[in-house]
Each structure stands twice: as C-alpha cells, then as structure tokens.
Structure 1
Amino acid sequence: MRLWLLRHGEAEPRARTDAERELTRHGRKDVLHSAAQLAGRPLGAILASPYVRAQQTAELVRDALGFRGAVGTAPWSTPESDPREALNFLAERSEQDLLLVTHNPFVSDLAGFLIHGHRQEPVPMGTASLVELEGDLLIPGLMSLRSIHHVRRH
C-alpha cells in the first residue's frame, strides 16, 4: 500500500471560522507544484478534510492530475483529529494508492505514528508538503517513509 499525505496549501489568515479559510494565490501555486510530484502515480482515491482549504487543495490536485474520481470527504481528518481514530477509517479503504489532504498538527502526527509506531516524532510538514509512505499494511510502525517534498519559499 502507498499512502500520500498532503498538507493543504497556504490559506488566508482569517475567515468567519477556521474551517472556512480559503487558499491564497501562493497557496494554489504551491499545491500545483506538489501535485506535479504525483504525476503518473496510480491513485485509487483522493480524500480530503471537510475544511475549505483542504477541499480546494484536493480539487487542484485532482484537476492537475486529470483524476476522474470525485474527492472524498474525510471528516476524521481535521487539524485536531486523532491519528489512531483515523487509522480505523483508512483501514476500511481498499485502494492500494491513496492521497489524503489534511492539516497540521494531524498530518505530521499521522505520518510519524505510521512510521515510528508512536506520536513522539511527528514528521515536520509545511504548507503543501507531500509525504509518501509505503507498507504492506497500514499499521503504526510498519510504514516506511519513501519520500518527502517540501515547497521552497520564494
């Protein structure tokens, strides 16, 4: 199984609620840069947090890759979600190649949990950072970090 974790692109600093914050122009550009890292990958599904900035990020990736499926909403992947609970939902998925678009601190914690088997070593992820994990099973401590892509700031 291959799991890609993408942190949403840069978002506007304020909105009526945190969930309603939209991507900035720079955020969109950074997302497209990260999406290029996924070109030619056999994604089976794209899932995203219900927050606007994550949904916008996922749709940009979907369009950039020409992915034909709809973006699935993952209500269990918001900034403060628990990686242990998220694994229950991810384990139900049958796709071998899956992209999850979400937020910090959740995304950093989830990556660290899958790689190390505990939450004491989160993987640092800036906006639009992309992590590629691989393993036979989606079990904490049994996934390997295959690549990490950070967007350079200009």
Structure 2
Amino acid sequence: MRLWLLRHGEAEPRARTDAERHLTLRGRREAGQAAVQLEGRQLQAILASPYVRAQQTAEVVREALGLPMAITTVPWLTPDSDPREALRRLDAYEGREVLLVSHQPFIGDLAGLLLHGHLEQPLPMRTASLAELDGELFAAGSMELLALVHPR
C-alpha cells in the first residue's frame, strides 16, 4: 500500500480564524511542485483537512493531475488531530493508494507513528513537503519511508 502525506502549501499569516487562512501565491506554486511528484501515480483517494489552506492545496494537486475524483474532507486531519485516530480511520482505505493533505504538527506526528511506532520521532515536514510511505497496512511502525521531497 502506498500512502502520500502532503503538508499544505504556504498560507497567509493571518485570517479571522486559523482554519480560514488561504494559500499564498507561493503556496500554490509549492502545491504544484508537489503535484509533479505524484504524476503517473494511481491515486485512489484524496483526503484533506477541512481547513481552507489544505483544501486549496488538495485542489491544486487534483487539478494538476487531472484527477476526476472528488476530494474527501475529513475532520481527523486538522493540526491538533490525534494520529492514532487517523490510523483507525485509514483502515477504510486499506489496499488503496491514498494522498492525505494536512498540517503540522499532525502530519509529521502521523508519519513518525507509521514509521517508528511511536510519536516521539516526527518526520520534519515544511510547507508542501511530500512524504511517500509504503507498507502492508496502515499501522503503527508498519510503513517504510521511500521519499521525502521538500519544495524549492
């Protein structure tokens, strides 16, 4: 199984609420760079945080790849979500190639949990960093990091 973890692109520093922060032009370019890394992949699902910047990042990727699927918005991909809850939710996507679009510290913590089996060693994820993980199932300590690409 292949799991792609993408942190949203650069967002504006302020908005009425954190959830309403939009991508900057640079953030859109960063998301486009991440999409290039996903060309030719057989993505079967795109799951995104409900926050505006994650939704916009997911949409940039979906459009750049010409994918006909809708983006699935899930409440368990926000910055403060529990990575252990995400593992339980990911069971529904087992056997599929999935892209998650989320935030720090959650996305780094989730990667660390999948790779090391604990939350003490998060993966460093800058804006629009894309991690490629592979494994037999979405479980703590069961996946291998194949690539970690940061935008230029």
Give the TM-score normalised by the residue count of structure 1.
Answer: 0.97
Report the counterpart of residue 29 of structure 1 in structure 2.
29
Change over 3 Å in CA distance of 1:95–1:62 after alignment to 2: farther
CA contact (8 A) 1:50 1:78 kept: yes
The Cα of 1:93 is off from its aligned counterpart by 1.7
The Cα of 1:61 is off from its aligned counterpart by 0.3
The Cα of 1:95 is off from its aligned counterpart by 4.9
What is the distance in 1 between the residues matched to 2:73 and 2:122? 24
> How far does the alpha carbon of each residue in 1:38-58 deviate from its partner, in whole angstroms, 9 at most, with x for none?
000000010100000000000
- SS class of match (2:23): coil
Q: Percent identity?
A: 62
Report the counterpart of residue 140 of structure 1 in structure 2.
140
The Cα of 1:105 is off from its aligned counterpart by 0.1
CA contact (8 A) 1:45 1:95 kept: no
- SS class of match (2:75): coil
1:53 maps onto 2:53 in alignment: yes
What is the distance in 1 between the residues matched to 2:32 and 2:38? 10
- SS class of match (2:148): strand
Report the counterpart of residue 116 of structure 1 in structure 2.
116
What is the distance in 2 between the residues matched to 1:115 and 1:94? 17
Amino acid at match of 2:137: L
Deviant stretches of 4+, over 3 Å:
none
Report the counterpart of residue 75 of structure 1 in structure 2.
75
> How far does the alpha carbon of each residue in 1:105-153 deviate from its partner, in whole angstroms, 9 at most, with x for none?
000000000000000100000000000000001111010001010012x
- SS class of match (1:146): strand
Number of residue equivalences: 152
> How far does the alpha carbon of each residue in 1:16-41 deviate from its partner, in whole angstroms, 9 at most, with x for none?
00000000000000110111000000
CA contact (8 A) 2:94 2:137 kept: no
What is the distance in 2 between the residues matched to 1:11 and 1:102? 13
Report the counterpart of residue 3 of structure 2 in structure 1.
3
What is the distance in 1 between the residues matched to 2:46 and 2:132? 14
1:104 maps onto 2:104 in alignment: yes
What is the distance in 2 between the residues matched to 1:94 and 1:137? 6
What is the distance in 1 between the residues matched to 2:38 and 2:12? 25
Give the TM-score normalised by the residue count of structure 2.
Answer: 0.98
Report the counterpart of residue 151 of structure 1 in structure 2.
151
- SS class of match (1:92): helix
Structure 1 runs not aligned, ≥5 long: none
What is the distance in 1 between the residues matched to 2:91 and 2:56? 25
- SS class of match (2:122): coil
CA contact (8 A) 2:94 2:138 kept: no
The Cα of 1:94 is off from its aligned counterpart by 4.3
